[in-house]
Amino acid sequence: MEWTRSETLALAMHRCTQCHGSGLRFSKKGAVAPCNCVLRAIFRICWDRFVRCVTQEKYLSRVSVEPHQGRSRPSTWGRKDEEFIADFCLIARRALDDCEHRLFRYHFILGADWKLCSRRLQIDRGNFFHAVYRIEQKLGRVFRELEPYPLFPLDEYFHGPSRMSPARVPAGAVRLTRPVHLEFPAPVGQTA
């Protein structure tokens, strides 16, 4: 995916010394890359949603109909909150190494503060916060860049097309056209 300023601007920290609020910076290879402040913002938005999903009362979780594009099944039922909780945990398991994942589990899933984490993981306060930043940046990027269904933006995740729908037709692909005899006649006065 390509990161653009229109996406990063709203997420960037205004006083960031790296991107100065634009959300974009140049990587070592000279390519345009998202700033770490944007990646951390994406992670925190997804984490907030995760906390809301796991702490809400069971009966508040909604079953929703997800429309399909295929012909075999027009729609299916899904529990988006539970799917989101599972995706959030599974993606972190896959993206982080063992040490990072332990800290992720203690701090972000179980809610342990830095004192408890540093005692348990035998790391000092500075290393704890460095690791937290690294995890937030790593996961923020994965949550946004994941193909074909990113976790972020949340709107698209919760209200977007079904995950079971066929792949989207790429731009420029040949589209099926209606047979001529099924075309609507042109309005009066616009015929050739």
Residues that bind Zn ion (CB under 5 A): 16, 18-19, 35, 37
Query: Could you tell me the smallest distance in angstroms from the CB atom of residue 7 to Zn ion?
Result: 13
Query: Could you tell me the smallest distance in angstroms from the CB atom of residue 102 to Zn ion?
Result: 28
Residues 6+ apart with CB under 8 A from 161: 66, 67, 69, 168
Residues 162, 69: Cα–Cα separation, whole Å: 8
Question: Helix, strand, coil % (nearest 5) of the chain?
Answer: 50, 5, 45
Would you state the torsion angle of the CA atoms of residues 32, 37, 43, 45, taken in this order, to the nearest 10 degrees?
Answer: -110
Which residue number, 40 or 107, has a Cβ lying nearer to Zn ion? Answer: 40
Residues 3, 157: Cα–Cα separation, whole Å: 18
Which residue number, 35 or 151, has a Cβ lying nearer to Zn ion? Answer: 35
Query: Could you tell me the smallest distance in angstroms from the CB atom of residue 25 to Zn ion?
Result: 7
Which residue number, 24 or 117, has a Cβ lying nearer to Zn ion? Answer: 24
Query: Could you tell me the smallest distance in angstroms from the CB atom of residue 19 to Zn ion?
Result: 3
Which residue number, 13 or 95, has a Cβ lying nearer to Zn ion? Answer: 13
Which residue number, 19 or 131, has a Cβ lying nearer to Zn ion? Answer: 19
Exposure string over 35-64, b if 16+ CB within 10 A, otherwise e: bbbbbbbbbebbbebbeebeeeeeeeeeee
Residues 94, 104: Cα–Cα separation, whole Å: 12
Residues 40, 87: Cα–Cα separation, whole Å: 18
Query: Could you tell me the smallest distance in angstroms from the CB atom of residue 156 to Zn ion?
Result: 23
